[in-house]
Amino acid sequence: MSGLVMPEADAATMARRAEIVADMRIIVPGEGVVETVNEMRAFETDGLTAYRQLPLVVVLPETTAQVARILKYCNERNVRVVPRGSGTSLSGGALPLEDAVLLVMSRFNRVLDIDYANRAVIAQPGVTNLAITHAVEQDGFYYAPDPSSQIACSIGGNVAENAGGVHCLKYGLTANNVLGVEMVLMSGEVVRLGGSHLDAEGYDLLGLMTGSEGLLGVVTEITVRILKKPEAARAMLVGFSSSEAAGQCVADIIGAGIVPGGMEMMDGPAIRAAEDFVQAGYPLDVEALLIVELDGPGPEIDHLIGEVEAIAAKNGAVTSRISTSEEERLSFWAGRKAAFPAVGRISPDYYCMDGTIPRKALPTVLAGMRQLSQKYGLGVANVFHAGDGNLHPLILYDANNPGELEKAEEFGADILRLCVKVGGVLTGEHGVGVEKRDLMGEMFSDTDLDQQMRVKCAFDPQHLLNPGKVFPQLRRCAELGRMHIHRGQIPFPDIPRF
Strands annotated E in 108-162: 111-115, 120-123, 141-142
Q: Mutual orientation of helices 326-337 and 268-278 as an angle, nearest 10°?
A: 120
359 interacts with a second copy by CB under 8 A: yes
Tell me which residues in 219-258 interact with a second copy (CB under 8 A): 227-229, 251-252, 254-258
According to CB under 8 A, which one of 1, 12, 31, 203 is a site residue for a second copy? Answer: 203
Rounded to whole angstroms, the Cα distance separating 109 from 131 reads 10
Rounded to whole angstroms, the Cα distance separating 334 from 430 reads 22
According to CB under 8 A, which one of 138, 402, 403, 482 is a site residue for a second copy? Answer: 482
Burial of 342 (0-12, 13-18, 19+ CB in 10 A): buried
Nearest approach in angstroms of CB 227 to a second copy is: 7
Tell me which residues in 278-297 interact with a second copy (CB under 8 A): 296-297
For residues 84 and 40, the answer to whether their CB atoms sit within 8 Å is no
Q: How are beta strands 355-356 and 390-391 bridged, if at all?
A: antiparallel
Nearest approach in angstroms of CB 207 to a second copy is: 3
455 interacts with a second copy by CB under 8 A: yes
According to CB under 8 A, which one of 159, 266, 425, 474 is a site residue for a second copy? Answer: 425
488 interacts with a second copy by CB under 8 A: no
Per CB under 8 A, which region of 7-15, 316-324, 366-374, 453-461 contacts a second copy? 453-461
427 interacts with a second copy by CB under 8 A: yes
452 interacts with a second copy by CB under 8 A: yes
**DSSP structure class, residue 474:** P
Nearest approach in angstroms of CB 453 to a second copy is: 9
Burial of 93 (0-12, 13-18, 19+ CB in 10 A): buried
Rounded to whole angstroms, the Cα distance separating 79 from 77 reads 6
Single out the residue of 261, 263, 267 nearest to residue 251, CA to CA: 263
Closer residue to a second copy (CB): 135 or 216: 216
According to CB under 8 A, which one of 29, 483, 491, 494 is a site residue for a second copy? Answer: 483
> How many residues bind a second copy, per CB under 8 A?
93
Nearest approach in angstroms of CB 348 to a second copy is: 30
Nearest approach in angstroms of CB 361 to a second copy is: 9
Closer residue to a second copy (CB): 299 or 341: 299
269 interacts with a second copy by CB under 8 A: no
Q: Mutual orientation of helices 298-314 and 243-255 as an angle, nearest 10°?
A: 130
